[in-house]
Structure 1
Amino acid sequence: MEVNSSDDKYLLPAETKPVILCVDDELILLRGLKEQLKLAFGQEYRVEAADSAELALNIIEEYNRAGVPIPVVISDQVMPGIRGDEFLIRTQKTNPDTRKIMLTGQASADSVGNALNNAKLYRYLSKPWDSRDLILTVQEAIRSFEADRSLFELNRKLEDALLYNRDSGLPNLEYLRRVLEDRELKGEESVLALVRIESTSLTTKHFGVSLYKDLLRKFLDSMSSMLGKIADIFHVYEDEVAILSKVSEERFLPHLIAFKILLRSDYLTTEGISFRINTTIATANGCKDLYYKARLALVRASQDKSQDFAGGILEYSEKMDEQDLYQININLGKRLNNAIHSGNIVPYFQGIVDNSTGKVEKFECLARIVEDGKVYAPASFIYLAKSTGLLRMITPILFEKVLKTFSRSEYCFSVNLSETELESGSFPKWVASRLAHHKIHPARVTFEILETTSLRENPDHFKVISGLKEIGCSIAIDDFGVEHSNFSRLLEIQPDFIKIDGKFIQSLGKNRTAFILTSAITELAHRIGAKVVAEFVGTREEFEAVRSLGIEFSQGYYIMEPKPEIPSSTIKIID
């Protein structure tokens, strides 16, 4: 049986099983120890033996270099040269996870304490040892080592999941943030470019996720081949890539521009189909808030496609901070949230005049936010209400306040209906119950469907519209003439009112085409039994032109500006 001697040159064995290392200067004891351990653990572990601490350290160094784990080291204390406790402390520095066992009959309390405190000694066994106790101790040490190793591997996998994109394998946004934070702490300046793939949604929609991911891999490979030597590449979002320069801005930007030019002229092919990758690229330089600045520039570049940026790449400037759309939206979102919970969502009322009598016969109810004496129109918050899902809360609040107002009058009124209400199958029943509670006849109520509302994607929307008509409410199509206007919509909804978009009304006196189209829409509405409302009537001339076409109702600032209360007396426009 072979025992390594300090006189021998140690050679690493070909096999790479995990290693149990025994160290003792008494060769007879060392051979016996090695034999017992081989019998117990030889199938899964390689048992090494060294007759000196110096040789043992060489063995550990070789196995460490080869990446072979050493779960357990068993060492005698009293040895010439380096003592056992000193050897274990040095082992702790290179192999902190290795379980260290001291096996001796002559160790002092100081030596054991030194090993416990500085080498994290796992166990102390006295000579002569009990074979069963020795085997059990080594088994426990191995089990402890493997448990920690499994935990380390699990943590490593979790760290990889946190720091790397699952599909591309590239470092992700969290990794980028850590790198940027480290550079910022060191005061290192860098150039960061953000690249957004604009065709992601269309490619995925028409060809599927699998093909898009394959296309994305080829795109990232192309980027890596051109920029990988001068920059680190991060896959921060599915459609967004960050490129952090490793060289000066003067060297980095020409390569980035060359990559942009290549994208414009070249195609990537997958599944036998060639794709041109449309991108938006923005950059920022410095060491503080680098990602935020580059992101701000990227948003601005995406919003303003009309500008011809230098090299097709927009660079961040401090002026962009003043118009930070995200921060503006955050502030507006907070205001909207506070308005909803504090009851500051209120209705404003705009009169609608009967063109035959000249009297205001009904009102459209419009949502407003009132805060610190300021009034905010829907254009400033409705888009945020949709994106946050708060729109679902606005309609019930507004509708309840509207019903309280009109329960004290005989006027008819209209309320806008969004996709949020159309998605609720129980909305008609809720409307019926609230109308009954306030003793308002359903015939007084008109729900206006915005022409920008898409109905085709969800046929159940029509069930809600039918349900509202069944309880006796009227339906109007708002802003008719734009967006989703078509004859099939009239067939599906069968509206009671058609409100012609203000673009046509405001052009009646100066654009013959607008006059003809308005006349045609009016005739069409009358033929299907719907009445017509002209929106944005702002002058006497527009009002007279509307009346001349046989349009029944007019609405606009010429008639009445939106007000927080309905008038106490009749409003009459003409005698």
Structure 2
Amino acid sequence: MKNKENGSSDESPKRSVILCVDDELIILRGLKEQLKSAFGKSYQIEAADSAELALQIVEECNQAGIHIPVILSDQVMPGIRGDEFLIRIQETNPNTRKIMLTGQASAESVGNALNKANLYRYLSKPWDSNDLLMTVKEAVRSYESDISLFELNKKLEEALLYNRDSGLPNLESLRRRLDLAAEEKEDSLLALIRIESTSLTTRDFGVSLYKDLMKKFLDSMKSILGNYGEIFHVYEDEVAILSKVSEEEFLPHLIAFRILLRSDYFTASGISFRINATIATASGKKELYYKARLALVKASQEPEFDSESGIYSYSEKMDDQDLYKINMDLGKRLNQAIHSGNVVPYFQGIMDNQTGKVEKFECLARIVEDGKVYAPASFLYLAKSTGLLRRISPILFEKALKKFSDSPYSFSINLSETELESPSFPKWALSRMEHYGINPSRVTFEILETASFHGNPERLKVIAELKELGAKIAIDDFGVEHSNFSRLLEIQPDFIKIDGKFIQSLERNRTAFILTSAITELAHRIGAKVVAEFVSTPEELKVVRSLGIEYSQGYLIMQPSPDITPVSIKIIE
């Protein structure tokens, strides 16, 4: 940096700069020495004998990233006047505190500096030394306070707008960019890429390795797609790229990236991984993130990918606003039904195939509202997604116990993952059975086919404790979903309920007949009794009985009812 008084050069100062500007060298040197004595330990004091030279100094400091907390300038100088100089400084260094030192400044000049240069203070020549030093001290303190606040806001902004691990702009950044594009009515194309193997990789190898793998994934993505748009690290397992180029130009590169993912491997910690990802796109001017995310969700639910590109693109037919409105309405009604006691058990008889008499009942959830009865298919999926199933099951169990307290019949009730995940459920269930005077041997807990026991030994412990109480255990809908033969070993059930898909195909499908027969024989060998579900015709009942199945359940026997109704079916040999 040039020495301002003699034009020589020295090293650029590393400390923040206080700059003095005056065309009278004697005054300039005196001012510099006075400030150096007071502030020289913490700040570099620089001097310039013209506004033009001072502007060069400011430019050099700005390029070097050196702060200039305070500038003191004379008003009357050859060339650029003091007020004009300070106004130009305001354009490049608005936070710098500007002090005017002059005995000849007009009111117009001072007013000009005040209005256009955000003048910090005006001091008349000759100035009082104490007043000068106190003014500079307060100006420096004011500047440092603003800079500290600025740096803090900058850090907060970075935390808000950038992913901590990758340093890439995050979801909030993407939202802001999309809002800006929508305001300017710009056509854009947004691609969302979700890594499907995140949870497995993290579970088996830890977060650190996954982050390393993610870095390599992002580097590869930048090399292929970086020139065609801005990349965002939306979530830990999801990235996005916002492009302004045409869809025809962008999609081939996106397809190439997908082909790379399907054919190549990424190495982290000496282990090779193939990253499985789902890619969805949306284009247009508005709601791109919503549309691309909807396409991503649809890709998971209905993976009907284009056979050539493998990219799932948004289309108007995907927009399920009507479905969302229906779900919102049902969700509110479900919540209201729980609070108002409108969740009730309905009962369907389970018949002994030898006697033709109903000996026990299954409790089924229903919502009764304004005289209408809603079956589980209309609300159970919402109960699961909202977590309200945790509240429904205890209500049903309590009402069922009360109903059967005055009846000799046994009954069964579904046991969902919610109860299986509660170690205290067996004790609670026993206390409620004792309260209503019901022997646990009259109660059968049915394990839903959706319940998984893999890696969940605590769930098996809950089942074992229920059996220790004397309750029975049934496997519901055996033959589908998780109901495989290993489940028999894990649970050791008292009953196996064969899924209705097999029963309804017995007469016309030899494979269904063979499988049902095999399941029945296997159940008998392990000491379990069998219940055939969805028995709806006399012909189906006849085949079921011929296989030695002990019990039948279905509309032929009894439709679900709010009452416990004894039923007998005439058995035709």
Report the counterpart of residue 572 of structure 1 in structure 2: 568
Q: CA deviation at 1:378?
A: 2.7
| 1:68-107 pair list within 5 angstroms | 68-77=66-75, 84-104=82-102
Q: 1:82 to 1:343 in 2, by over 3 A?
A: farther
**Given residue 570 of structure 1, which amino acid in structure 2 is its aligned partner?**
P
Report the counterpart of residue 286 of structure 1 in structure 2: 284
Q: 1:254 to 1:422 in 2, by over 3 A?
A: closer
**1: distance between equivalents of 2:441 and 2:203?**
43
Q: CA deviation at 1:384?
A: 3.7
**1: distance between equivalents of 2:479 and 2:3?**
95
**2: distance between equivalents of 1:519 and 1:316?**
47
Q: 1:309 to 1:325 in 2, by over 3 A?
A: farther
**2: distance between equivalents of 1:122 and 1:338?**
63
| Bigger Cα displacement from structure 2, 247-256 vs 330-339 | 330-339
**2: distance between equivalents of 1:306 and 1:83?**
72
**2: distance between equivalents of 1:493 and 1:283?**
45
* Matched residue count: 570
Q: 1:9 to 1:182 in 2, by over 3 A?
A: farther
- SS of structure 1 residue aligned to 2:363: strand
Report the counterpart of residue 21 of structure 2 in structure 1: 23
Q: 1:413-442 deviations in whole A, cap 9, x for unaligned?
A: 211111211222222222233233334343
Report the counterpart of residue 321 of structure 1 in structure 2: 319
Q: 1:177 to 1:255 in 2, by over 3 A?
A: same
Gaps of 5+ in 2: none
Provide TM-score, normalisation by structure 1: 0.88
Q: CA deviation at 1:468?
A: 2.8
CA contact (8 A) 2:475 2:483 kept: no
Q: 1:447 to 1:201 in 2, by over 3 A?
A: same
- SS of structure 2 residue aligned to 1:44: coil
CA contact (8 A) 2:305 2:311 kept: no
Q: 1:217 to 1:323 in 2, by over 3 A?
A: same
- SS of structure 1 residue aligned to 2:345: strand
Q: 1:267 to 1:430 in 2, by over 3 A?
A: closer
Q: CA deviation at 1:491?
A: 4.8
CA contact (8 A) 2:478 2:484 kept: no
Report the counterpart of residue 4 of structure 1 in structure 2: 4
Report the counterpart of residue 51 of structure 1 in structure 2: 49
CA contact (8 A) 1:12 1:62 kept: no
CA contact (8 A) 1:3 1:31 kept: no
**Given residue 434 of structure 1, which amino acid in structure 2 is its aligned partner?**
R
**1: distance between equivalents of 2:257 and 2:222?**
10
**1: distance between equivalents of 2:328 and 2:374?**
16
Q: CA deviation at 1:323?
A: 7.5
**2: distance between equivalents of 1:432 and 1:207?**
41
Give the percent of matched residue pairs that are identical in Structure 1 and Structure 2.
Answer: 75
Q: 1:293-326 deviations in whole A, cap 9, x for unaligned?
A: 2222222233333543442222221111147877
Q: CA deviation at 1:137?
A: 3.6
Q: 1:15 to 1:324 in 2, by over 3 A?
A: farther
**1: distance between equivalents of 2:309 and 2:189?**
16
CA contact (8 A) 1:344 1:371 kept: yes
Picking from 487, 491, 494, the partner of 1:493 is: 491
**1: distance between equivalents of 2:286 and 2:371?**
38
**2: distance between equivalents of 1:373 and 1:128?**
95
Provide the aligned C-alpha RMSD in A. 3.1
Report the counterpart of residue 401 of structure 1 in structure 2: 399
- SS of structure 1 residue aligned to 2:309: helix
Q: 1:547 to 1:37 in 2, by over 3 A?
A: same
Report the counterpart of residue 555 of structure 1 in structure 2: 553
Provide TM-score, normalisation by structure 2: 0.89
Q: CA deviation at 1:44?
A: 3.5
Q: CA deviation at 1:355?
A: 1.7
**Given residue 568 of structure 2, which amino acid in structure 1 is its aligned partner?**
K
**Given residue 434 of structure 2, which amino acid in structure 1 is its aligned partner?**
A
CA contact (8 A) 2:3 2:9 kept: no
CA contact (8 A) 1:10 1:59 kept: no
Report the counterpart of residue 469 of structure 1 in structure 2: 467
Picking from 194, 197, 208, the partner of 1:196 is: 194
Report the counterpart of residue 542 of structure 1 in structure 2: 540
| 1:360-375 pair list within 5 angstroms | 360-371=358-369, 375=373
Matched, 1:63 2:67: no
Q: CA deviation at 1:462?
A: 3.2
**1: distance between equivalents of 2:18 and 2:240?**
46
